[in-house]
């Protein structure tokens, strides 16, 4: 059998890793581990890669590794990286069954790789630009696979801003409400006509036109709550281009309104709320159900109730179940998103 103490053909890093394995497990056990691993890969992987795989499996399994150190067959890899792109879903066929495969790209200072999963919620809740830690990921085909034993932690998310805070020639992240149905607009480039998608958004601080240059975007309509990630702002418009993303958070039904309260006032003994330019009437009993109080003291002034409502409603996003009566819109139920 090959004597692994003869290491003239290994680079210095591989020699160090091999010595660490031998010191912990002994020469005979390491010898068997290398032979077994070579058989697993049908002798297609060189010995120095086998030694690195064993090192990460047996010694450094719970330690963070750099992307450049990822090798096929490493189990329990812990990797930290920045999410740079979220890819389109792919349909995989296996044993007469179809599976939807989701993936996203991460990178660190040493390189980049793809992370693959089969859980749609992971992709929907992931935000471009987030710093994530993947624990116990399985490495194969130069990718990291997330399975039931894998844990994905978000260490840091990008900062979301309001429309009023945006300045030209920067990248931004926003949570907003779609204020108009998307429309196709013709745009000429080099005498060729291309179709762009445009729509209007609104939040508690203002409104803005969004132009989408990408063809593959989710479907949404006026009133939907969306998340804009890594978008550009110039020429007084928001632009969704390559490596930007639109995520639909919630789409209301016909009797619902989604948005942020920008203002609350008292008019003729009633509380009036404003979601952008939309005016709604909020009955006292509806708000009391929202804050889980059955009734208020009889001597409580309307101004005190208004102060409570401003505290709990302004600056937050809600779904409102509404009905229209005599030209007025009345709120029947308040749900926080």
The tokens 């809600």 sit on which residue?
Answer: 318
Q: How confident is the model at residue 174 (pLDDT cuts 50, 70, 90)?
A: very high
Q: pLDDT of 124-172, one tens digit each?
A: 889 999 999 998 888 877 789 998 888 899 999 999 999 999 999 899 9
Give start and end residues of each alpha helix (H) in 59-143: 120-125
Q: pLDDT of 198-232, one tens digit each?
A: 999 988 888 999 999 988 888 898 889 999 999 99
Residues 16, 31: Cα–Cα separation, whole Å? 16
Tokens of 269: 């003994």
Q: What would the mean pLDDT of 243-257 be, rounded to a whole number?
A: 87
- Residue 68 reports pLDDT greater than 90: no
Q: How confident is the model at residue 29 (pLDDT cuts 50, 70, 90)?
A: very high
Distances from the Cα of 55 to the Cαs of 2, 36, 43, 60, 299, in angstroms?
19, 14, 18, 6, 73
- pLDDT given for residue 140 in this prediction: 79
Domains and CATH numbers, the chain: 12-59 (no CATH), 77-156 (2.40.50.140), 163-250 (2.40.50.140), 256-336 (2.40.50)
**Mean of pLDDT over the chain:** 84
- pLDDT given for residue 4 in this prediction: 44
Q: How confident is the model at residue 266 (pLDDT cuts 50, 70, 90)?
A: confident
- pLDDT given for residue 297 in this prediction: 66
Q: Count Cα atoms within 13 angstroms, Cβ side, for 181.
A: 2
* b/e burial code for range 283-296 (CB count within 10 A of at least 16 → b): ebebbeebeeeeee
Q: How confident is the model at residue 243 (pLDDT cuts 50, 70, 90)?
A: confident
Q: Around Cβ 31, how many Cβ atoms within 10 Å?
A: 17
* b/e burial code for range 169-191 (CB count within 10 A of at least 16 → b): eeebbbbbbbbbebeeeeeeeee
The tokens 């399994």 sit on which residue?
Answer: 61
Residues 223, 246: Cα–Cα separation, whole Å? 15
Q: What percent of the chain has pLDDT over 70?
A: 91
């Amino acid at each position: 059998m090959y004597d692994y103490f003869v290491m003239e053909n290994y680079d210095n890093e591989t020699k160090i890793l091999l010595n660490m394995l031998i010191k912990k497990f002994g020469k005979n056990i390491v010898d068997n581990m290398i032979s077994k691993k070579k058989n697993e890969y049908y002798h297609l992987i060189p010995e120095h890669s086998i030694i690195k795989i064993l090192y990460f499996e047996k010694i450094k399994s719970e330690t963070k590794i750099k992307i450049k150190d990822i090798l096929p067959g490493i189990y329990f890899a812990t990797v930290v990286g920045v999410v740079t792109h979220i890819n389109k879903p792919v349909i995989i066929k296996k044993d007469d069954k179809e599976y939807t495969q989701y993936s996203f790209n991460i990178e660190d200072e040493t390189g980049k790789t793809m992370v693959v999963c089969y859980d749609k919620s992971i992709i929907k809740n992931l935000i471009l630009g987030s710093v994530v830690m993947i624990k116990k990921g399985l490495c194969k085909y130069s990718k990291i696979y997330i399975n039931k034993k894998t844990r994905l932690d978000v260490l840091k998310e990008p900062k979301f801003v309001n429309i009023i805070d945006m300045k030209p020639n920067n990248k931004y992240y926003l949570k907003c409400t779609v204020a108009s149905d998307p429309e196709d607009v013709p745009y000429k480039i080099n005498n060729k006509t291309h179709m762009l998608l445009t729509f209007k958004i609104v939040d508690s601080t203002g409104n803005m036109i969004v132009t989408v240059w990408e063809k593959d975007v989710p479907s949404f309509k006026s009133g939907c709550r969306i998340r804009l990630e890594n978008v550009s702002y110039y020429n007084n418009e928001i632009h969704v281009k390559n490596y930007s993303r639109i995520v639909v958070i919630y789409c209301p039904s016909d009797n619902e309104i989604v948005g942020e309260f920008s203002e609350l006032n008292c008019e003729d003994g009633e509380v009036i709320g404003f979601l952008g330019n939309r005016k709604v009437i909020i009955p006292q009993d509806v708000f009391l159900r929202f804050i889980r109080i059955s009734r208020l003291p009889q001597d409580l002034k309307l101004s005190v109730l208004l102060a409570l409502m401003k505290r709990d409603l302004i600056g937050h996003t809600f779904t409102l179940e509404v009905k229209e009566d005599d030209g007025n819109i009345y709120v029947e139920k308040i749900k926080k998103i």
